[in-house]
Amino acid sequence: MFRRPDFDALREEMVRQQLAARDIRDERVLAAAHVVPRHRFVPRREQRSAYQDRPLRIGRGQTISQPYLVALMTQLLELKGRERVLEIGTGSGYQAALLAHLAAEVHTIERHASLAERARQVLAELALDNVHIHIGDGSLGWPDAAPYEGIIATAGAPRAPQALLDQLADGGRLVLPVGAGTRQTLQRWRRDGNQFTHEDIVPVAFVPLIGEQGWYAP
Ligand code: SAM
């Protein structure tokens, strides 16, 4: 007989050792990571590993990122609570769940319907009803709900898609990995009127953004 792990204790340890002990300083991000049950978003066989310091497989050849990277990208959005945000690459729904605690309204787009459906189910079970899941090509953004104060892409693009820059609100932030394969850089873009500036944050390795303003499907 296997005993069920103490997920609450594992999560507390994750926040302390992997996030707070590194450079996650935004108290709201730390609080959200503390309450969102990451193990609910991964396949059953991966649940025991859900709080480890690494990415995990979620099916359809896709991954849920390492907890630290999810927290870092979220922190870079500088959310205060009243924003409308867009996520590209719903995957498991974990990142969307964090955003649901940190912003007023979350739109998230996934190209694999089966992943979107599973994420929808978990988010509904957790009563996170400010998240709207869409199926489609997120490299084109989701113009129907634009503009967004924050946009986050969790798949690597060849360059910041113009569609996403166009859908940023004035003063808005876009956080995304740019580059191919293992040579990607996490970038943060800011819009100031019609001016766009960006900074490079850290090297990263994400799955590719497949779509019209991403990489084309093989
Ligand atoms: N944010 C996710 C989470 O919390 O589990 C992790 C996402 S995973 C690293 C990247 C996701 O982007 C995959 O599920 C992949 O199918 C999706 N994706 C890739 N290209 C896309 C596109 N053009 N539009 C929407 N989703 C896309």
pLDDT at 218 > cutoff 60 = no
The residue to mutate among 39, 88, 94, 206, having the most atoms of ligand 1 within 8 angstroms of its beta carbon, is 88
pLDDT tens digits for 72-130? 999 999 999 999 999 999 999 999 999 999 999 999 999 999 999 999 999 999 999 99
Q: Which residue has its alpha carbon closest to ligand 1 atom 24? A: 138
pLDDT for residue 111: 97
Does the model's pTM come out above 0.85? yes
What is the secondary structure of 157-200 as a DSSP string? BSS--HHHHHTEEEEEEEEEEEEETTEEEEEEEEEETTEEEEEE
For residues 63 and 78, give the distance between their C-alpha atoms in angstroms, rounded to a whole number.
24
Map tokens 């929808």 to a residue.
120
Average pLDDT of the residues in 46-61: 94
C-beta separation of 80 from 107 below 8 A: no
pLDDT tens digits for 139-188? 999 999 999 999 999 999 999 999 999 999 999 999 999 998 778 999 99
pLDDT for residue 4: 87
Average pLDDT of the residues in 62-66: 93
pLDDT at 1 > cutoff 60 = no
Average pLDDT value for the chain? 96
- Whole-number Å distance, alpha carbon 21 to ligand 1 midpoint, is 28
Average pLDDT of the residues in 201-217: 93
Average pLDDT of the residues in 204-212: 95
